[in-house]
Amino acid sequence: MTKVSVLATVALGFLVGAGYVHAHGDEMHADALKAAHGGQVQVVGANHFELVVTRTSKDAADNPVVVYLTDSNGKKLPSAGATGVATLLTGKDKSVVTLAPDGDNRLKGIGKYASTPAMKAIVSITLPGKSAEQARFTPLSGRSDGQ
């Protein structure tokens, strides 16, 4: 084999491999996931977190924060024994919400926040026997499909 042939073969391998990785990445992209509860979904390791916040609170008020837990196949992950914290950032305001189990596969807390499109959230969940996992959200970024 000539040097050019070897280089061409290696380059072709990289192109094919890059296409495979890109296709797999699109399949697992959070934007492609359906939010079952009208929130925004993020992929966190092998799991999915769906953050649901109030969309209609123009002024900062005590509002619910809910995180639904599922695995990569959409199967509910039990929230019993899990702990969590959601940090909500709206402009200059910051609200740290403690999340506690509230039903089959969800954690819930109450935090003081206004529903603004610029809201950002950092959610950290620790499942029993596991390390903490963290996801970042823009839950009210103007998407009409709830994600």
70-83 pLDDT, tens per residue? 999 999 999 999 99
Please tell me whether residues 80 and 46 are part of one structural domain.
Answer: yes
Question: How far apart, in whole angstroms, are the C-alpha atoms of residue 144 and residue 62?
Answer: 24
Give the number of domains in the chain. Answer: 2
The predicted structure's pLDDT at residue 32: 55
Domain that holds residue 20: 1-32
Mean pLDDT value across residues 54-64: 95
Helix ranges (DSSP H) in 38-98: none
pLDDT surpassing 70 at residue 94: yes
Length of the chain: 147
100 and 113 co-located in one domain: yes
| Listed residue (94, 91, 102) closest to 125, CA to CA | 102
Please spell the DSSP secondary structure of 10-51, one letter per residue. Answer: HHHHHHHHHHHHHHHHHHT-GGGS--TTSSEEEEETTEEEEE
Report if residue 147 sits inside a domain.
no
Do 40 and 94 reside in the same domain of the chain? yes
Burial of 53 (0-12, 13-18, 19+ CB in 10 A): buried
- Whether residue 27 is predicted with pLDDT greater than 90 in this model: the reply is no
139: nearest Cα among 59, 29, 26, 42: 42
The answer on 39 and 1 residing in a single domain is no
Q: Are residues 22 and 44 in the same domain?
A: no
In whole numbers, what is the pLDDT of the chain averaged over residues? Answer: 83
103-141, pLDDT tens digit by residue? 999 999 999 999 999 999 999 999 999 999 999 999 998
Q: Are residues 51 and 75 in the same domain?
A: yes
pLDDT at 146: 38
* Strand ranges in 25-127 using DSSP code E only, listed in sequence order: 40-44, 47-53, 61-71, 83-90, 93-101, 106-113, 120-126
CATH code assigned at 115: 2.60.40.1930
